[in-house]
Amino acid sequence: MQYLDEAVRFVPRTRRSGGRPLRVARTLLTCGVAVAVMNDLEMPEEAGPAYRHVNVHNPRCPLSFDRERQRWTCSPALELYPVWALNWAAAQAISERLGGRLPWAAEWERFASNNDPARIYPWGDAAPNRSLANYDEHYGGPSAVGCFPPSETGLSDLAGNLGEWCLDRFGDANSLERVVKGGAWSKDAGHLRISKSRGKWARLGTTTIGLRPVWED
């Protein structure tokens, strides 16, 4: 898939990484790639009031299941938008099917800051504005990937648009929440800071969280 061909090679300076290089997806995973991988996984239709992977009960969910073709689909108009409504398990399963995984929060902070722990935002220390990121409901919803200037390492939407699932639990080892990084279209400017983390129940698929796989090089 073209999505994989555009990954950026990066060496995060973290204790966990041990200096091993990563390849980092240039963009958030798009709806078009998500449905292709979900169909490759033969991910079943969601049935009943609960869901295993996709929050189809949210009226803004960009994904739907075609019963006649037994396949997940999205509107052609949304193929280049980042996928949302996937819970943590779906995000990790898709990342693994692509040969990668979700990033650790420390790794995310390193590639978002280009290994500069003092940096406030992915673009530097300048205050956010609507030309730099999609946040604080300036645009009323997610935007297509690559609409805003990329970081100096070539990564898009590290701040705003959608938050990004990480591997870490939020809190102690028994927590049911996972770390989310990167702010979102509906979150205020404080969430755009690289150091900012929030927790979200792993079983939830929301309109504000997507994913960016990484691969160990």
Tens digit of each residue's pLDDT (9 = 90 or more) over 141-184: 999 999 999 999 999 999 999 999 999 999 999 999 999 999 99
Identify the pLDDT of residue 101.
97
Identify the pLDDT of residue 110.
96
Identify the pLDDT of residue 75.
96
Amino acid at 4: L
Tens digit of each residue's pLDDT (9 = 90 or more) over 90-111: 999 999 999 999 999 999 999 9
Identify the pLDDT of residue 160.
98
- pTM score of the predicted model: 0.95
Identify the pLDDT of residue 155.
97
Asked whether residue 5 carries a pLDDT value surpassing 80, the answer given is no
For the chain, how big is the Rg over CA atoms in Å? 16
Identify the pLDDT of residue 126.
97
More confident call, 2 vs 164:
164
Q: What burial letters (b/e) apply to 139-177, b meaning 16+ CB within 10 Å?
A: beebbbbeebebbebebbbbbbbbbbbbbbebeeeeeeb
Identify the pLDDT of residue 18.
65
Asked whether residue 210 carries a pLDDT value surpassing 90, the answer given is yes
Give the mean pLDDT of the chain.
Answer: 95
Asked whether residue 1 carries a pLDDT value surpassing 90, the answer given is no
Asked whether residue 217 carries a pLDDT value surpassing 90, the answer given is no
CA pair distance 199, 179, nearest whole angstrom: 5
Identify the pLDDT of residue 205.
97
The domains located in the chain, with CATH, are: 2-216 (3.90.1580.10)
CA pair distance 75, 32, nearest whole angstrom: 9
Identify the pLDDT of residue 62.
98
Tens digit of each residue's pLDDT (9 = 90 or more) over 70-91: 999 999 999 999 999 999 999 9
Identify the pLDDT of residue 201.
98
Nearest to 210 by CA among 79, 30, 20: 30
Cβ within 8 Å of residue 138, ≥6 positions away: 130, 185
Q: CA 110 → CA 12, 52, 195, distances in Å? A: 6, 31, 10
Tens digit of each residue's pLDDT (9 = 90 or more) over 13-53: 876 666 789 999 999 999 999 999 999 999 999 998 899 99
Tell me which H or E stretch contains 88: helix 88-97
Residue 201 — left, alpha, or beta (φ > 0 → left; ψ -120 to 50 → alpha)?
beta
Asked whether residue 3 carries a pLDDT value surpassing 80, the answer given is no
